[in-house]
Amino acid sequence: MVMPTAVPLLSREPVVRLVNAFPRPYENAVATARTCYSARGIVATEEVSGTPDLPEDKRAARVAMRDRIAKSIYQAGHHTTLQHAHFQFALDGVSRQFLWSFLHAHPFYNSEQVSQRYVEVKAGNFAVPSLSGEALAVYEAAAQRQMDDYHELIELLTPVVEREYFRVFPARRPRAEKWKGAVQKKAQEIARYVLPLATHAYLYHTVSGLTLLRYWRLCEAYDAPKEQRLVVGRMKDALLAHDPLFAQILEEPIPLAETPEHVFYAAATGGERSLGSVRDRFVAEFDASMGGRVSTLVDWKARNEECVAAAVREVLGVPRSLLPDDAAIALVMDPSSNPMLGQSLNVTTLSKVSRALTHASYTFRKRLSHAADSQDQRHRMTPASRPCLPAYLSDAPDFVRPAILFEDDDALRAYDRSMQRTWEALGRLRALGVSDEDRAYLLPNAVTIRFTESADLLHLHHKLKMRLCYNAQEEIWRASRDEAMQIAEVNRRIGRFLLPPCALRAMAEEAPICPEGDRYCGVRVWKLAVEDYRRVL
């Protein structure tokens, strides 16, 4: 058994800086609570503990009332008061695994992080867990090899990408040097699939006070509790340094052993390490249900179209005789009738008639790489039940191959070889007694993630609008195409309006038709039917 060292990570320390925050967030929460019951109007934050010129006894009374209210509403679960104050952090040196499994695994945040699609990853930029001896040597050698494989694949893929790029943009070939950067980015977008989940990222991350309290409470849950506790602990420390009053309502983390996932594994299977054959049966069962698709429609409301049509009539206050179902659906979903759908700024949640789309819903079973799912999960209003660690840490290679690899045998062989060597290293680390949590950092971006995702039509419409664009990552684009086509099969009147931005803008007569400017994909997608969409890049 490999004994961990005293520190959670041997790699460079994660950087956590609080760069923006409300000046008095704790007292602001109390002020908002008091405003709910104030007969004299808004209660200012400055009033909560009293101004300096207030007599000491009156100030003490206000402070006592402040803390009593704060604790009372917190214990009662009236937590919206804690959502007013927001905290913006600059994070650096955190792993992609931590981002996917924790920071981005819920809806209540905003992040802008460095993109592996557009920024080349530098050597040595990866998290190293607290290992020692042979285990540490195996881990570091494997991670370095993944970095080397990444750079090798960029070189192998560049001529393949260049060929496909100039097939789409033949007029650009005479000035090939000008487009070298665009080709490079496309090549590294695919090559990044071999990089480990340990790869570092940097980002801005903004959350409310409520979310920050939730982070600390659940930071020891799957999948990377050591890194989670380290980084979230520093976020918590920054919060308390900024406003020590939060210590009065801060709850300690729930131990991993007390979480329902861990309790299940311990009781039902004898522990995570005995899950091999169980997981194999799950994978076979799941994949057999997919019908060869990336995303498979498994459930939808029986009366989706009728409900949407009725809701449109309710918004307008008109009978069916004046606005039949077909016309009502077209009114809310056809951009020529509802121009909100063709605009760049998504205002549908504020549009009365557009909100009728919330009454239709769909559920998909999906099979994506970790890389693609990291994009998919950023659509916070199309939530999913994503797997915890033992469900995707396999004994045998289990990964996704991007489509363009099949255009070049050398690139495909190099890619598969990288995957095989990665899983060999994972197996060796397991034999050395390394924990699943630490081994998981070596999983490649390509590792398969299986899950179910549901969405109401209002938010799914926006997601498909963005991800049916040919500039979207190829894998998530393919899943979105699957979804749009299957919805059209069961709900034709809805499905015919699930289109990329250019097609919706063309229907709304918005100009320019493509909103991407110099990022135009080179294909007049708005002239194609969804079933005719094709791309490998």
Q: What angle do CA 104, 487, 374 make, to 5 degrees?
A: 15
Q: How far apart are CA 387 and CA 272, in angstroms?
A: 14
Q: For residues 88 and 210, state if they share a domain.
A: yes
Q: DSSP character for 103?
A: I
Q: For residues 37 and 152, state if they share a domain.
A: no
Q: What tokens were used for 405?
A: 């690899």
| Residue whose structure tokens are 């052993």 | 257
Q: Is residue 511 part of a domain?
A: no
Burial class (CB in 10 A: 0-12, 13-18, 19+), 228: buried
Q: For residues 46 and 102, state if they share a domain.
A: yes
Q: Is residue 240 part of a domain?
A: yes
Asked if 519 and 471 count as a contact pair (C-beta separation under 8 A), the reply is yes
Asked if 508 and 336 count as a contact pair (C-beta separation under 8 A), the reply is yes
Q: What angle do CA 398, 399, 401 make, to 5 degrees?
A: 145
Residue closest to 368 by CA, chosen among 262, 472, 503, 260: 472
pLDDT at 52: 82
pLDDT at 4: 42
Q: How far apart are CA 262 and CA 270, in angstroms?
A: 11
| Residue whose structure tokens are 């790489």 | 369
Q: For residues 85 and 213, state if they share a domain.
A: yes
Q: How far apart are CA 149 and CA 399, in angstroms?
A: 16
Please report, rounded to a whole number, the percentage of residues in the chain having pLDDT higher than 70: 97
Domain boundary (443, 475, 499) is at 443
Q: Which residues span the domain enclosing 77?
A: 15-113+200-261
The torsion region of residue 271 among left (phi > 0), alpha (psi -120 to 50) and beta comes to left
Enclosing H/E stretch for 368 = strand 361-369
Q: Taking the mean position of all CA atoms in its chain, how far away is CA 169? A: 31
Q: For residues 137 and 235, state if they share a domain.
A: no
Burial class (CB in 10 A: 0-12, 13-18, 19+), 325: middle
Q: pLDDT digit string (tens) for 163-179?
A: 999 999 998 999 999 99
Q: pLDDT digit string (tens) for 1-42?
A: 344 444 689 999 999 999 999 999 999 999 999 999 999 999
φ, ψ (nearest 5 deg) of residue 528: -105, 150
CB atoms within 10 A of CB 292: 7
Which segments within 412-531 are labelled E, that is strand? 448-456
3 state SS of 461: helix
Q: How far apart are CA 208 and CA 21, in angstroms?
A: 10
Total of domains in the chain: 2
Q: Is residue 459 part of a domain?
A: no
Residue closest to 466 by CA, chosen among 475, 476, 453: 476
Q: For residues 180 and 205, state if they share a domain.
A: no
Judging by DSSP bridges, how do beta strands 384-385 and 200-208 pair with one another? Answer: unpaired
Domain boundary (226, 243, 261) is at 261
pLDDT at 123: 87
Q: Is residue 53 part of a domain?
A: yes
Domain boundary (384, 412, 443) is at 443
Q: For residues 204 and 90, state if they share a domain.
A: yes
Q: How far apart are CA 416 and CA 446, in angstroms?
A: 11
Q: Is residue 322 part of a domain?
A: no
Q: How far apart are CA 464 and CA 461, in angstroms?
A: 5
Q: For residues 35 and 170, state if they share a domain.
A: no
Q: What angle do CA 48, 53, 59 make, to 5 degrees?
A: 40
Judging by DSSP bridges, how do beta strands 200-208 and 110-113 pair with one another? Answer: antiparallel
Residue closest to 205 by CA, chosen among 284, 357, 92, 43: 92
Which segments within 48-134 are labelled E, that is strand? 86-95, 110-113
pLDDT of the chain along its 537 residues, tens only? 344 444 689 999 999 999 999 999 999 999 999 999 999 999 999 999 988 889 999 999 999 999 999 999 999 999 999 999 999 999 999 999 999 999 999 999 999 999 998 899 998 899 999 999 999 999 999 999 999 999 999 999 999 999 999 999 998 999 999 999 999 999 999 999 999 999 999 999 999 999 999 999 999 999 999 999 999 999 999 999 999 999 999 999 999 999 999 999 888 766 555 667 788 899 999 999 999 999 999 999 999 999 999 999 999 999 999 999 999 999 999 999 999 999 999 999 999 999 999 999 999 999 999 999 999 999 999 999 999 999 999 999 999 999 999 999 999 999 999 999 999 999 999 999 999 999 999 999 999 999 999 999 999 999 999 999 999 999 999 999 999 999 999 999 999 999 999 999 999 999 999 999 988 999 999 999 999 999 988
Helix %, strand %, coil % of the chain (to 5): 55, 10, 35
Q: Is residue 333 part of a domain?
A: no
Q: Is residue 462 part of a domain?
A: no
Q: For residues 46 and 57, state if they share a domain.
A: yes
**Residue partners of 176: CB distance under 8 A and separation at least 6:** 162, 166
Q: For residues 149 and 224, state if they share a domain.
A: no
Q: Is residue 394 part of a domain?
A: no
Q: For residues 234 and 184, state if they share a domain.
A: no
3 state SS of 323: coil
Q: DSSP character for 302?
A: T
Give the CATH number of the domain where residue 52 resides.
3.30.1360.170
Q: For residues 211 and 192, state if they share a domain.
A: no
